């Protein structure tokens, strides 16, 4: 079974009440429910976590890589500052998609630069909770394609 870790960084535990004009009114628990429903339709297993602590995120990225899982990550502000997350993603071997609820490119200039994008499969931003679902589909498809390539030829 394909396993995907959905990792959430600092302040995402405040979704639903934190700057709703930017992040919307959907809570992280509601996003988790949507992600789990989508994973169910894909036949995937999901580990969903949030931490305000960079080291926890690094540990979880490494764990996903060890397990052969994929990653959907909303690293929050760490997206723009964390070499540790960048290095963990690069070193883990886990196919990773960076997601954001808001369109970071329509916001402050400091948010236009991501340290984790260069080591990710891609970046999805600006679609609210749907960004997570699109990221989940992208990682799932990548893992499914890799799994098919790894199967021995049936001749």
Q: What is the pLDDT of residues 6-30, one digit of tens each?
A: 999 999 999 999 888 778 789 999 9
**According to the model, what pLDDT value does residue 119 have?**
98
What b-and-e string marks burial along 125-141, b requiring 16 or more CB atoms within 10 Å of the CB?
bebbbebbbbbbbbbbe
In a domain, 83, yes or no: yes
111 among the known binding-site residues?
yes
For residues 5-22, one letter each, b for 16 or more C-beta atoms within 10 angstroms of the residue's C-beta and e for the rest, the string is bbbbbbebeebeeeeeee
82 is in an annotated binding site: no
Instruction: List, by residue number, the catalytic residues.
Output: 23, 100
Q: Is the pLDDT of residue 153 over 60?
A: no
Task: Confirm whether 31 is domain-assigned.
Answer: yes
80 is in an annotated binding site: yes
Query: Is 102 a known ligand-binding residue?
Result: yes
Q: Is the pLDDT of residue 5 over 60?
A: yes
- Residue 87 belongs to a domain: yes
Q: Which pairing describes strands 96-100 and 45-50: parallel, antiparallel, or unpaired?
A: unpaired
Tell me whether residue 10 is in a domain: yes
Helix (H, G, I), strand (E, B) or coil at 71: strand
CATH of the domain at 98: 3.40.50.9100
Residue 155 counted as domain residue: no
Four-CA torsion 83, 84, 89, 92, nearest 10 degrees: 140
Q: What pLDDT does residue 114 have?
A: 95
Q: What is the pLDDT of residues 82-125, one digit of tens each?
A: 999 999 999 999 999 999 998 888 777 777 889 999 999 999 99
Which structural domain, as residue segments, surrounds residue 120? 3-150
Domain count, the chain: 1
154 has pLDDT over 70: no
- Inside any domain, residue 66: yes
Q: Predicted confidence band at 151 (pLDDT cuts at 50, 70, 90)?
A: confident
Q: pTM of this prediction?
A: 0.92
DSSP per position, 9-66: -TTGGGTTTS-HHHH-S--HHHHHHHHHHHHHHHT-EEEEEE-S-HHHHHHHHHHHHH
| Closest C-alpha among 22, 24, 27, 25 to residue 12 | 27
């Amino acid at each position: 079974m394909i396993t995907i870790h959905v990792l959430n960084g600092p302040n995402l535990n405040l979704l639903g009440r934190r700057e709703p004009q930017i992040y919307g009114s959907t809570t992280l628990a509601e996003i988790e429910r949507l992600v789990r429903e989508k994973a169910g339709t894909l036949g995937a297993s999901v580990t969903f976590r949030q931490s305000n602590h960079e080291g926890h995120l690094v540990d979880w990225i490494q764990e996903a890589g060890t397990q052969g899982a994929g990653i959907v990550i909303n690293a929050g502000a760490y997206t723009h500052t964390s070499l540790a997350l960048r290095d963990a993603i690069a070193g883990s071997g886990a196919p990773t998609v960076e997601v954001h609820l808001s369109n970071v490119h329509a916001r402050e200039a400091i948010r236009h630069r991501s340290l984790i994008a260069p080591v990710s499969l891609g970046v999805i931003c600006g679609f609210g909770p749907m960004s997570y679902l699109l990221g989940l589909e992208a990682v799932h498809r990548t893992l499914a394609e890799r799994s098919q390539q790894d199967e021995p030829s049936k001749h």
